[in-house]
């Protein structure tokens, strides 16, 4: 699972079973066989006076020996029949329970868990004893009314849930709660009913959404994903979606709960930018460039490609700061970086790795002439006049060049040799380029 994590899914399911009035026990089947408690709903804990300490324990560790033997034999019957088993049980106090043991099979058809649903039927038994085998229709009516009451209760919970919730069927919205209407900036829920679910998806993603929904219907029972939606006012919101199959008016549908993560994503992107991009020029920083260069080396080895690494250092940058101050120096660096960026191809990468130091990754280079062509274009752009506070300042650079694979086949060697070539260019007066393999 990518927008809800698995733990959130499990918590969601636990909340559901805790809303059920029946006692729910999920037992794990072990060798022997043994039967171990792994989930018990709150209703069962209260009625039986147990707590989470029963989790991880076997039946015989929780109940009396006599009852443990009785229950174990019935659980074994589930394994033997490979089917559901229903039985009734009564205690000395005259309480009757009906238990349904439901096997859960894995992909290999083996029973790995048994879900026990225990229902108190004491009242039903009292009615049957009083009126004979014919059931009291008043009780049936009471049950019917309770079901209706529960439906209304859960409908109200969903309506008022803070999590945007939608049911769509055949691609069209059939139900939304208030939070979903608010998310889409709709003045009412009714305005959304009958609309195509893809109407609120970016146009570029609609075909993908249709395919995703179709695959979900055919292959999945639940899914989670990250998505973008478009509100009625045209705003884009980023959401996490958790969807499960359901039925709506006796027909298969999708029940989806959304979480608006727009603000969180903005913060994540900001943190990512701080970690991997230079704050001043917005170019990749040293850390990100290291990852990009290592990736370029992997690709070059796999596809037998060549590339070049340029190590650029601004000449006389100290004079710039002394002349126009640090604020002016920042503007100089930003302009310097932009001119380098404007000189390379779209497939190339420019990174700021120091105060006035830049690395350039030139991809898919066939020969040195291509490298020289880019370097000369950078020099030409730097020669253009640049001024700050009515002072015209020159932009000068020295360049060291290392070529893969002849000047190195790993990150450390390539950077070291490009740096040595840069040092040689500086030693020869600066404002020139130097290939590593040409150093004498």
pLDDT tens across the length of the chain (440 residues): 444 444 454 555 566 667 667 788 888 999 889 999 988 888 888 877 788 888 899 989 988 888 888 889 989 998 988 888 888 877 767 777 888 888 888 878 889 898 888 887 776 666 556 544 444 445 445 544 554 555 565 677 788 888 899 999 999 999 999 999 999 999 999 999 999 999 999 999 999 889 988 888 888 888 888 999 999 999 999 999 999 988 888 889 999 999 999 998 888 888 777 889 998 999 999 999 999 999 999 999 999 999 999 999 999 888 898 899 999 999 999 999 999 999 999 999 999 999 999 999 999 999 999 999 999 999 999 999 899 988 999 999 999 999 999 999 999 999 999 999 999 999 999 999 999 999 86
**Confidence at residue 136, expressed as pLDDT on a 0 to 100 scale:** 45
Judge if 309 and 188 occupy the same domain: no
| Inside any domain, residue 16 | no
Burial class (CB in 10 A: 0-12, 13-18, 19+), 395: buried
**Confidence at residue 201, expressed as pLDDT on a 0 to 100 scale:** 93
**Confidence at residue 347, expressed as pLDDT on a 0 to 100 scale:** 94
| Inside any domain, residue 18 | no
Judge if 100 and 69 occupy the same domain: yes
Judge if 107 and 229 occupy the same domain: no
Judge if 206 and 107 occupy the same domain: no
Structural domain boundaries enclosing 211: 163-261
Judge if 288 and 412 occupy the same domain: yes
**Confidence at residue 382, expressed as pLDDT on a 0 to 100 scale:** 95
What beta strand segments (E) does 79-198 contain? 85-90, 96-105, 111-120, 165-169, 172-176
| Inside any domain, residue 213 | yes
**Confidence at residue 10, expressed as pLDDT on a 0 to 100 scale:** 54
Boundary of a domain, candidates 155, 177, 212:
155
CATH number, domain with residue 50: 3.30.450.20
Judge if 242 and 320 occupy the same domain: no
* DSSP string across 6-63: HHHHHHHHHHHHHT-SSEEEEEEEETTTEEEEEEE-HHHHHHHT--GGGTT-BGGGTS
| Inside any domain, residue 3 | no
Boundary of a domain, candidates 261, 294, 313:
261
Judge if 179 and 57 occupy the same domain: no
Judge if 113 and 174 occupy the same domain: no
Length in residues, the chain: 440
d(CA 110, CA 122): 35
CATH number, domain with residue 396: 3.30.70.270
| Inside any domain, residue 186 | yes
The number of folded domains in the chain is 3
pTM: 0.51
| Inside any domain, residue 270 | no
What values do phi and psi take at 138, rounded to 5? -65, -40
């Amino acid at each position: 699972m990518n927008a809800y994590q698995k733990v959130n899914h499990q918590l969601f399911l636990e909340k559901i079973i805790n809303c059920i009035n029946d006692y729910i026990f999920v037992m794990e089947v072990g060798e022997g066989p043994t039967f171990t408690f792994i989930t018990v709903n709150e209703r069962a804990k209260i009625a039986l006076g147990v707590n989470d300490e029963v989790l991880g324990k076997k039946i015989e560790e929780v109940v009396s020996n006599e009852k443990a033997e009785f229950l174990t034999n019935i659980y074994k019957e589930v394994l033997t029949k490979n089917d559901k088993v229903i039985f009734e049980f009564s205690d000395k106090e005259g309480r009757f329970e009906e238990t349904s043991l439901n096997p859960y099979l894995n992909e290999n058809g083996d029973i790995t868990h048994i879900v026990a649903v225990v229902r108190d039927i004491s009242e039903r038994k009292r009615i049957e004893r009083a009126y004979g085998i014919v059931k009291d229709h008043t009780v049936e009516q009471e049950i019917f009314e309770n079901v209706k009451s529960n439906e209304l209760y859960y409908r109200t919970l969903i309506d008022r849930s803070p999590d945007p919730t939608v049911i769509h069927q055949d691609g069209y919205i059939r139900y939304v709660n208030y939070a979903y209407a608010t998310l889409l900036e709709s003045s009412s829920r009714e305005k959304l009913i009958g609309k195509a679910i893809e109407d609120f998806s970016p146009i570029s993603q609609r075909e993908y959404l249709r395919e995703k929904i179709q695959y979900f219907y055919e292959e999945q029972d639940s899914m989670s994903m990250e998505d973008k939606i478009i509100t009625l006012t045209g705003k884009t919101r980023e959401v996490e979606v958790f969807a499960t199959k359901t039925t709506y008016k006796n027909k298969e549908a999708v029940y989806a709960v959304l979480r608006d993560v727009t603000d969180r994503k903005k913060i994540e992107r900001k943190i990512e930018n701080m970690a991997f991009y230079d704050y001043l020029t917005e170019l990749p920083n040293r850390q990100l460039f290291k990852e990009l260069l290592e990736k370029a080396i992997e690709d070059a080895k796999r596809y037998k490609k060549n590339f070049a690494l340029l190590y650029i250092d601004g000449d006389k940058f100290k004079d710039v700061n002394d002349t126009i101050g640090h604020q002016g120096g920042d503007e100089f660096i930003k302009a310097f970086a932009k001119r380098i960026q404007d000189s390379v191809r779209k497939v190339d990468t420019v990174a700021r790795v120091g105060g006035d130091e830049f690395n350039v990754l030139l991809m898919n280079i066939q020969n040195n002439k291509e490298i020289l062509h880019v370097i000369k274009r950078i020099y030409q752009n730097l020669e253009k006049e640049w001024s700050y506070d009515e002072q015209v300042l020159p932009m000068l650079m020295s360049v060291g060049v290392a070529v893969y694979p002849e000047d190195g086949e790993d990150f450390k060697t390539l950077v070291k040799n490009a740096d040595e070539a840069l040092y040689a260019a500086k030693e020869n007066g600066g404002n020139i380029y130097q290939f590593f393999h040409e150093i004498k």
